[in-house]
Amino acid sequence: MSPHERDLLGAELTASPYEFLAELRRNDPVHWDEQQRAWLFTTYEDVAFGFVDQKLSSDRIRPLLDVVTPARRAELAPMLGVMSDWMVVTDPPVHTRLRRLANAAFRQQRIAHMTEWIGEIADSLLDDFVASGSTDFVSGVAYPMPATVIAKMLGAPEADKHLFQRWSDELALVAFGAGGDAREDRHRRALAGIADMQGYLENLIDEVTRHPGDDMISALLAGSGTEDRLTREELVALASLILFAGHETTTNLLCNAVVALTQHPDQLAAAYADREVLPGALEEVLRFEGPIKVIVRWVAEDFERGGKQIKAGDRVYLLVNSANRDEKVFADPDRFDIGRSGQPPHIAFGRGAHACLGAQLARIEGRIALPRILDRLPGLRLTTPVTWKPSIASRAVDGLHVDYDGRTVPALAG
Amino acid sequence: MSTSVTYELHEGGQRQLDVPDGTSVMQAAVSNGVPGIVAECGGQLMCATCHVYVEEAVGEVPEQSADEIEMLELAAAETTAQSRLSCQLVCGPQLDALVVRIPEKQV
């Protein structure tokens, strides 16, 4: 294997991708990865271009179905059929319409007014976490907080949120290209997860139709006051996308914030001393170790970039984690600095038509969670070395265990 | 036809652009590398990262919708009666000139 060919899903790059990415930016910024069969765009400028240029399509499910064997297509189709309705993998005009309806429903939620109840959710989770003496930060805080928020926004009963994790985990295996499990097993599980989730959402939609409320599904059912409404299939697809996207990434953001802060004690100390630094710290976490590493696009039309001929039908990986460390944009990019100015901005939420729908919600959740985490968990520290999950798209820890001053060590069973 | 738009930069100094009809103050800033306007969502009125303060206007400034007022609640910098989301300030023949001040932060 050439020195430049390294496995994005291998142990080395999963643990620490950044040196390799810097090497690519220096020597081969638009790089063909033979293993992934994709062009890697590694600079901020090229990634920003990739997000907005019309020659790059988000329609990345159908092309996948086109290139596989008929047998494989039959196997993948039921699962990918649902995901292919997700607006995240559509282009204008289909995307434009779905996104406009989703935007309206999100705006109607008035997330700026949610700070009080999101704070109550965080407080309650931290109460339980501290009372239990648990060290499992993912189960105790990072998973349930965004899951509870998105469940409430969708109008789902809070008690059902434990279901969401299972489905999201299954979906993430396919959507985020996670490594590890055998592909057939992964797809079978994802299919089961999707079938369960669809059934659940269809029941929820029926329930909400009978008893509309101020949740997003009610808003989507009502439409935005124009004649345009979603079909039932579109509504299930959109609700499932929001459910899936609405917590996996935010869970990872909260975990990555804890990792980054505890791994940089001087920054953690600054945060303990002054909560005002935390919004800036959150942005720096998004830049330094954001939850999304890669966004995938398909090439709709030939073009030249970085001296390379990019062909229609090629796949492109926008390496967000590389763009966010681009030395041409960020001074001392590998330094985690919570005091870093917000200019130039990171690109962790993307740009343009497909920019993260939930970006402001994620920011609000992070800004509410972080000070409470510090307030309730003094002397926060990790108890085990951090291991990252192998995944093309996601920067996610494989569990996160923390200790803090005054933790009540749980009594051992008799 | 175009609108003369002056961007007062947060770090001091200013940039002046002639913005064609149909182009927003945000789009002109982003296309011309005016710093301090992030515009994450590219003009969908979903991110509140294109916030500006309207200092001066000659002519008619596009009206503010209920959605814009809603989204301004998410702006990172302090909002005032002059606050607008610049993706909604679409230039046209009714607007001769505009001076906007860029806030200290967008996120």
pLDDT, tens only, B73-83: 999 999 999 99
The angle subtended at Cα A339 by Cα A113 and Cα A267, nearest 5°, is 100
pLDDT for the residue A79? 67
ipTM score of the complex? Answer: 0.94
**Of B40, B70, B74, which is closest to A355 when you measure between CB atoms?**
B40
pLDDT at A174: 61
User: Is the entire prediction scored with pTM above 0.80?
Assistant: yes
Residue found under tokens 């805080």: A141
Question: How far is the alpha carbon of A275 from chain B, nearest alpha carbon, in Å?
Answer: 16
Task: Decide if pLDDT at B70 tops 90.
Answer: yes
Distance from CA of B41 to the nearest CA of A (A): 5
Asked if A363 is an interface residue toward chain B (Cβ–Cβ < 8 A), one would say yes
B76 touching chain A per CB within 8 A: yes
Separation of alpha carbons A405 and B9, rounded Å: 45
User: Which of A107, A292, A295, A346 is the best mutation test for B, with the most CBs of B within 10 A?
Assistant: A107
What does DSSP say about strands A294-299 and A303-305: parallel, antiparallel, or unpaired? unpaired
Residue of A103, A111, A112 lying closest to B44 (CB–CB) = A103
Check CB contact under 8 Å for A355 and B44. yes
Q: Nearest chain B Cα to A347, which residue?
A: B40
pLDDT at res. A77: 72
B50 touches chain A (CB under 8 A): no
CB atoms within 10 A of CB A45: 15
How close, in Å, is residue A166 to chain B by CA atoms?
A: 30
For chain A, 414 residues long, give each residue's pLDDT as a single digit of tens. 444 458 998 999 999 999 999 999 999 999 999 999 999 999 999 999 999 999 999 987 777 777 778 887 777 776 677 677 788 888 999 899 999 999 998 998 999 899 999 999 999 999 999 999 999 999 999 999 998 898 889 888 878 877 877 776 766 666 655 555 556 677 777 777 777 888 888 999 999 889 999 899 998 888 755 667 788 888 888 988 888 888 889 999 999 999 999 999 999 999 999 999 999 999 999 999 999 999 999 999 999 999 999 999 999 999 999 999 999 999 999 999 999 998 899 999 999 999 999 999 999 999 999 999 999 999 999 999 999 999 899 999 999 999 999 999 877 655
Residue A357 contacts B, CB cutoff 8 Å? yes
Q: What is the 3-state secondary structure (H, E, C) of chain A?
A: CCCCCCCCCCHHHHHCCHHHHHHHHHHCCEEEECCCCEEEECCHHHHHHHHHCCCEECCCCHHHHHHCCHHHHHHHHHHHHHHCCCHHHCCCCHHHHHHHHHHHHHHHHCHHHCHHHHHHHHHHHHHHHHHHCCCEHHHHHHCHHHHHHHHHHHCCCHHHHHHHHHHHHHHHHHHCCECCCCHHHHHHHHHHHHHHHHHHHHHHHHHHHHCCCCCHHHHHHHCCCCCCCCCHHHHHHHHHHHHHHCCHHHHHHHHHHHHHHHHCHHHHHHHHHCHHHHHHHHHHHHHHHCCECEEEEEECCCEEECCEEECCCCEEEEEHHHHCCCCCCCCCCCCCCCCCCCCCCCCCCCCHHHCCCCHHHHHHHHHHHHHHHHHHCCCCEECCCCCECCECCECCECCCEEECCCCCCCCCCC
CA distance A128 to chain B (A): 30
State the average pLDDT for chain B.
97
Q: Do B40 and A353 touch (CB under 8 A)?
A: no
What is the H or E stretch that residue B59 is in?
A: strand B51-59
Average confidence (pLDDT) over B12-18: 97
Interface size between A and B, measured as CB pairs under 8 A: 62
Q: According to the model, what pLDDT value does residue A410 have?
A: 77
Inter-chain contact B49–A351, Cβ cutoff 8 Å? no
B1 in contact with A, Cβ within 8 Å: no
pLDDT at A88: 82
With an 8 Å Cβ cutoff, is B70 touching chain A?
A: yes
Q: Which of A324, A290, A262, A309 is nearest to A393 (CA)?
A: A290
The CA distance from A25 to A327, in Å, is 9
Residue A175 has what pLDDT? 61
Q: What is the pLDDT of residue A41?
A: 98
Spatial separation of the C-alpha atoms in residues A199 and A228, rounded to whole Å: 25
Strands A30-33 and A38-41, bridge-based pairing: antiparallel
Across the interface, whether the CB atoms of A345 and B42 are under 8 A apart is answered no
Model confidence pLDDT, tens digit, residues B84-99: 999 999 999 999 999 9
